[in-house]
Amino acid sequence: MSTQRRRGLQGAGPAKRATVDKYPARQFPIQHEIQKLEGELNAFNDRIAELEDEGHRGHAMNVLKANAIDLAQRIDELRSVLVEPTTRGRPA
């Protein structure tokens, strides 16, 4: 099961992953921060998958998973800042 999950998390491999340098930090600070956090999240997910494959369970795994969830929430919060509400159907 963890092998399937690992493939899902990694996608098609490093060639398909976003790089931190895709958006210059000065021009696109939010996008740059999102990409940095995504890199950290990928590292957490890779480490969690490695430990699961080795059969580790316990407090350390729970901490790693909680940190991964926290990073995912921070990414979602930053993405919500980028979303512009549409004005369709609203009175002007």
CA distance 53 to 77: 31
Check whether 36 has a pLDDT greater than 90.
yes
pLDDT at residue number 13: 45
**In the chain, what are the domain boundaries?**
2-8+29-82
Residue whose token pair is 């909680």: 66
With the CA atoms of 14, 15, 21 and 22 taken in that order, what torsion angle do they form, in degrees rounded to the nearest 10?
Answer: -130
pLDDT at residue number 43: 94
Residue 75 CA: distances (Å) to CA of 19, 41, 68: 15, 9, 11
Angle of the 2-10 helix axis to the 29-53 helix axis, nearest 10: 160
Q: For a pLDDT cut of 70, what percent of the chain falls above it? A: 65
